[in-house]
Amino acid sequence: MENTEVQLDPEIDLLPGVATSSIEIPWEQLRAVVEAVIYVTDEPLSADQIATALQQPAARIGQVLEELSVEYGKPEHGLTIREVAGGYKISTKPEHHEAIRAFVKNLKPPLKLSLAALETLALIAYKQPITAPEVMEVRGVHGAGVIKTLIDRKLIATAGRKTVLGKPILYKTTKEFLVQFGLKDLSELPTLKEFEELGRLSMGDDETTVEEPQAEPPAEAPPVEGSADESAAERAESSVTE
């Protein structure tokens, strides 16, 4: 079997500020890069893989890995770098698994909104304070169920009542809304198009998550004497009698 030599693209800058052809990398910088590489990789990385990618002697990478393993082995670290299946991987320490499991169980499930809910939230964010009838007027559909969902998710809250006939409830966004979208305050709101795209990426656009109730159809009028249905029934009954 022929040995295959790994060729690195010289245009790729693996270490910013350091030429890819150079192996004279400061020890602390190399240590930091190796640590980061192991962290971001799902599969265990061998010393040879790291050495090839960073164009470093395998022995030097081995020393870095040994130093990192010792450092992460100290009790003040919750993570450890250990050898798994011929490579190195960062993972949580076994002695902390129960505490981590309990913590994860208390985490809120990922927040997902339907497209209808996202549109309603966008309207409230940009037009607040706004009433449910005003939202319905813009969207053209009944949105009471969606507004209830947004309240349950703590993304919007009531903001008093509008001083018009019927005094409808006003709605505004909440602090949780800012947290979910990574905004410092409302002045950082993106454009409406950017907002919808941001929502799909950060909150998971799942159109089946929340079903928006449609506006109820008008009630059927009671049957009128002599209607088409009634006449058909009478004709059928007459034919049977005959």
Per domain, the residue ranges of the chain are 27-100, 115-203
Does the pTM exceed 0.75?
no
For the record, the structure tokens of 65 come out as 């890995």
**pLDDT score for 40:** 85
Residue 31: phi and psi, rounded to 5, are -60, -45
Tens digits of pLDDT across the chain (242 residues): 444 333 334 344 444 444 444 467 788 888 888 888 888 887 888 888 888 888 888 888 888 888 888 888 888 888 888 888 888 888 888 888 888 888 877 776 666 788 888 889 988 998 899 999 898 888 877 778 899 999 998 999 999 999 988 899 999 999 988 888 778 888 888 776 776 676 666 555 444 444 444 445 444 544 444 444 444 445 444 444 44
**pLDDT score for 110:** 64
For the record, the structure tokens of 25 come out as 């990398």
| Class in CATH terms, 27-100 | mainly alpha
Give the integer Cα–Cα distance in Å for 140 and 132. 11
For the record, the structure tokens of 81 come out as 């770098």
**What would be the CATH architecture of the domain defined by 115-203?**
Orthogonal Bundle (1.10)
Listed residue (191, 205, 111, 187) closest to 149, CA to CA: 111
Give the angle 29-34-39 at the CA atoms, nearest 5°: 125
Give the integer Cα–Cα distance in Å for 75 and 178. 37
Q: Do domains 27-100 and 115-203 have the same CATH topology?
A: yes
How would you classify residue 86: left for phi > 0, otherwise alpha for psi between -120 and 50, otherwise beta? Answer: left
